[in-house]
Structure 1
Amino acid sequence: MKTDSPLPTPGAPLQHYISSAPFDLQSVEAMTPEQSKVFQASQLRLMWWKFRKHRLALVSGMFLAVLYFGILICEFLAPYNLHTRNMDYIYSPPQRVHLFHDGQFVGPFVYGRQMKLDMDTLKRNYIENQNDVQRLRFFCKGDSYRFWGLIEGDRHFVCPAENGQLFLAGTDRLGRDVLSRIIYGARISLTIGLVGISFSFLLGIVIGGLAGYHGGIFDLIVQRIIEVLQSIPSIPLWLALAAIMPITWSPILIYFGITVILGLLDWTGLARAVRSKLLALREEDYVLAAQLMGARSSRIIGRHLIPGFMSHLIATATISIPGMILGETALSFLGLGLRAPITSWGILLTEARSVSVIAFYPWLLLPMLPVILVIMAFNFLGDGLRDAADPYK
């Protein structure tokens, strides 16, 4: 039977084709290669084509990819070891990188500094010595480290000059390089979001999937539990759960404890999203066919129902990661999260608790900058994924 429905246009979403009248064989054969490519594209490919048009989300995704690659080699990227102290440069302000000296191109370098103590305020003042040109070294030997705690190494991407100093983000009260500690702290702060969302993702899919598919008493109990958890303010609940962790636990146990706490408090929203989807999809004919063929509930949920809206779940999980990063930062800043020798952005911000410290040494607030950038990038990326996964846009 021949229809008068128009041919699909390149770039139009697949749902546009499905909603239009069915094509006959002649109209399908008459499609151009570009139209055929769009018509036969998979859901993931259509999402990618749509996601590429969201420039801000694409840039955010590239930015996050660079950061997560950087945490794999943070020992190499950091100019100093995590625990290296420069006692002659306590509370040294950030140094500027120069390229020209006396009108001549020298390459990347910093000027040497001399410290003078203000006897009235007891503040350390650092004065640049314009005659002391310290050229930066790249792919050089510097402080020794253990790569991921396993392999000995001493190669760094950038190092100070011989007998020189390089503090691009200043130093703290112990003379430790703030930039190096920010780079090391990224490994903890960024991975805790991924590990936490994985735990939350598992709980949300399993509990929400069973509640939406079976319904009944189990669904009623799950909904009441979710309502109770969502009615409790997040910060007091974080503090209460974090405070019960024994102080004798090792840093790695504290890390996983914080991750479990953040995952336990974040699964409720995802579970409700999964439940609402399954309540609608469980009435479809293909679900009844799978039941008649003897498929188990776990197979129907895992192989037939969840994949149908997995793109929406990924977008939801992406938006949830910033909340976990903020949660870890807040707990560590309040002294109830991660503890030394583990270093995270939240722990670095504890150096700036005092108003007087912030007034004298404002660069100690620099760890707040990557927190803001990462959270904004995840939000933009989540918005782009959500728009790409929405069949009605």
Structure 2
Amino acid sequence: MQAGPAPTPAEEADAAPAATRHGSGNETYGALVWRRFRRSTMGMIGLVLVVLLLVVTIFADFFAPMDPRATHLPFAPPDMIAFHDPEGNFSLIPHIYPIGDTGEFDPVTFQPLTGPVLDDPTPTGFFVRGYDYRIFWVIPANIHFFGATDGRPLQLLGTDKFGRDILSRGIVGARISLMIALAVVSLTTIIGTLVGISSGYIGGALDAWVQRFVDFVLAFPQLPLYLALTSLIPVTAPSNIFLTFVIFVMAALGWAQLSREVRSKTLSLARIEYVRAAIAVGASDRRIILRHILPNVLSHIIVAVSLAIPAVVLLESFLGFLGFAVKPPLISWGLMLQDTGTFSVIGSYPWILSPVVFVLITVFAFNALGDGLRDAVDPY
């Protein structure tokens, strides 16, 4: 009988016992998930982006080069970044050339032409002193990761209609946008998991009534309901109260889908032999749910959370664009997009669309991370 092709070293390593590959003992479930997750290129890219995004968000004032509330020239175009000095010599520290009047005129429209002012670059550096802020709202500081060393305005993405730096507002606004997303997803995860597991495990009349209520919540058209509920709070209400109400409305309408998914997983797990054995030996319902059902549902919940965060970020951006999510003086990506309400403004000042880039990066990062986790935790 003809022998098959010899296995490659990689196949032999995969076929080897875990104790042989790792020294001693078997791999834990977390180690197996991490080993599979590392093979996903997009998943690792998403993980790195999410970590960087969280670091920048936590230390937003440190990474923001300008005071996000300071006003300068309205609708100023982005400064030009170059890694050479005015003499043309290469430099590791980028030189920033502000955009100003070149002294020339358009030969057709006779409008003054603007361009980089090459003879007056803005001196920049890392870890420079800037506006005062507090780390974790307690520790006073004024050191920034990057900025102008002489205190001049640094507008890498231009300014909005009030002359505020778009890059700094985007970095600081990530706090509110991600805080809303994390708060909403945390509430929906807790409520959806508790309702789904309880309904699927107990069953009977409770399951029937709970599922009819879930159907009732899912039947509502969410966008009109969001607008109707957020319009109930007075416009003069403080920003913190308005923000809390928005989080409550999003969470109240977002838990139903996860509860339906968790219920279906619980119904299948409740028929497995080790759960029936635990029931036979007299284990309490609380112990069965916490020790046998919840750990097996947790992988699905983790993936659902990673995919729900970008959905909430998009929803907050859309509601903020309509003026129903965040009110000034708070800053969010959706609130920044209100300046893009007219085509004439976008055509004349296209850099005000920069907050869209922040949203795209966040959505891509969490979606890539969620896809990688979904493949890694799949036992099949």
**Which one of 81, 84, 94 corresponds to residue 78 of structure 2?**
94
Query: Structure 1 residue 48 and structure 2 residue 34: aligned?
Result: yes
The CA deviation at 1:298 is 2.6
**Equivalent in the alignment of 1:105:** 90
SS in 2 for 1:169: coil
Counterpart code for 2:50: L
Query: Structure 1 residue 85 and structure 2 residue 88: aligned?
Result: no
The CA deviation at 1:228 is 2.3
Q: Which structure 2 residues correspond to residues 261-272 of structure 1 after superposition, within 5 A?
A: 261-272=249-260
**Equivalent in the alignment of 1:369:** 357
Structure 1 unmatched runs, 5+: 1-7, 13-29
Taking the aligned partners of 1:153 and 1:115, their CA distance within structure 2 comes to 36
Taking the aligned partners of 1:151 and 1:31, their CA distance within structure 2 comes to 51
**Equivalent in the alignment of 2:293:** 305
- The farther-off stretch of 60-69 and 283-292 is 283-292
The CA deviation at 1:104 is 1.7
Taking the aligned partners of 2:224 and 2:14, their CA distance within structure 1 comes to 49
Counterpart code for 1:95: D
Taking the aligned partners of 2:14 and 2:36, their CA distance within structure 1 comes to 9
Taking the aligned partners of 1:322 and 1:112, their CA distance within structure 2 comes to 35
**Equivalent in the alignment of 1:206:** 194
Q: Kindly indicate whether the alpha-carbon contact (under 8 Å) linking 1:11 and 1:38 is maintained by their aligned counterparts in 2.
A: no
Taking the aligned partners of 1:115 and 1:340, their CA distance within structure 2 comes to 33
Cα RMSD for the two superposed structures: 2.6
Taking the aligned partners of 1:51 and 1:383, their CA distance within structure 2 comes to 10
Summarize the Cα distance change of 1:45–1:38 in structure 2 as closer, same or farther, 3 Å threshold: farther
Taking the aligned partners of 2:205 and 2:76, their CA distance within structure 1 comes to 63
- The farther-off stretch of 255-264 and 93-102 is 255-264
Residues 302-347 of structure 1 deviation map (CA, whole Å, 9 limit, x = unaligned): 2221102311210111111111111111111101111111101000
- The percentage of aligned residue pairs carrying the same residue is 35
Q: Kindly indicate whether the alpha-carbon contact (under 8 Å) linking 2:66 and 2:154 is maintained by their aligned counterparts in 1.
A: no
TM-score between the two structures when normalised by the length of structure 1: 0.85
Residues 19-63 of structure 1 deviation map (CA, whole Å, 9 limit, x = unaligned): xxxxxxxxxxx9685367698211111111111111111111111
Q: Kindly indicate whether the alpha-carbon contact (under 8 Å) linking 1:81 and 1:145 is maintained by their aligned counterparts in 2.
A: no
**Equivalent in the alignment of 2:51:** 65
The CA deviation at 1:75 is 0.6
Summarize the Cα distance change of 1:105–1:331 in structure 2 as closer, same or farther, 3 Å threshold: same
Query: Structure 1 residue 75 and structure 2 residue 61: aligned?
Result: yes
Taking the aligned partners of 1:148 and 1:346, their CA distance within structure 2 comes to 24
- The farther-off stretch of 145-154 and 230-239 is 145-154
Q: Which structure 2 residues correspond to residues 48-197 of structure 1 after superposition, within 5 A?
A: 48-86=34-72, 89-100=73-84, 101-106=86-91, 107-114=93-100, 126-162=114-150, 164-197=152-185
Counterpart code for 1:320: A
Summarize the Cα distance change of 1:260–1:175 in structure 2 as closer, same or farther, 3 Å threshold: same
Q: Kindly indicate whether the alpha-carbon contact (under 8 Å) linking 2:192 and 2:255 is maintained by their aligned counterparts in 1.
A: yes
Q: Kindly indicate whether the alpha-carbon contact (under 8 Å) linking 1:78 and 1:180 is maintained by their aligned counterparts in 2.
A: yes
Taking the aligned partners of 1:111 and 1:283, their CA distance within structure 2 comes to 68
**Which one of 335, 339, 362 corresponds to residue 347 of structure 1?**
335
**Which one of 232, 256, 274 corresponds to residue 244 of structure 1?**
232
Counterpart code for 2:243: Y
Q: Kindly indicate whether the alpha-carbon contact (under 8 Å) linking 2:65 and 2:145 is maintained by their aligned counterparts in 1.
A: yes
The CA deviation at 1:262 is 1.8
Counterpart code for 1:135: P
Summarize the Cα distance change of 1:92–1:370 in structure 2 as closer, same or farther, 3 Å threshold: same
Q: Kindly indicate whether the alpha-carbon contact (under 8 Å) linking 2:99 and 2:116 is maintained by their aligned counterparts in 1.
A: yes
Residues 68-120 of structure 1 deviation map (CA, whole Å, 9 limit, x = unaligned): 0111111111011121111xx221111121122332234411224435999xx
Query: Structure 1 residue 382 and structure 2 residue 352: aligned?
Result: no
Q: How many residue pairs were aligned?
A: 364
Q: Kindly indicate whether the alpha-carbon contact (under 8 Å) linking 1:200 and 1:267 is maintained by their aligned counterparts in 2.
A: yes
Summarize the Cα distance change of 1:104–1:285 in structure 2 as closer, same or farther, 3 Å threshold: closer
The CA deviation at 1:232 is 2.1
Taking the aligned partners of 1:389 and 1:316, their CA distance within structure 2 comes to 12
Summarize the Cα distance change of 1:124–1:261 in structure 2 as closer, same or farther, 3 Å threshold: farther
The CA deviation at 1:156 is 1.1
- The farther-off stretch of 132-141 and 203-212 is 132-141
TM-score between the two structures when normalised by the length of structure 2: 0.88
Summarize the Cα distance change of 1:92–1:296 in structure 2 as closer, same or farther, 3 Å threshold: same
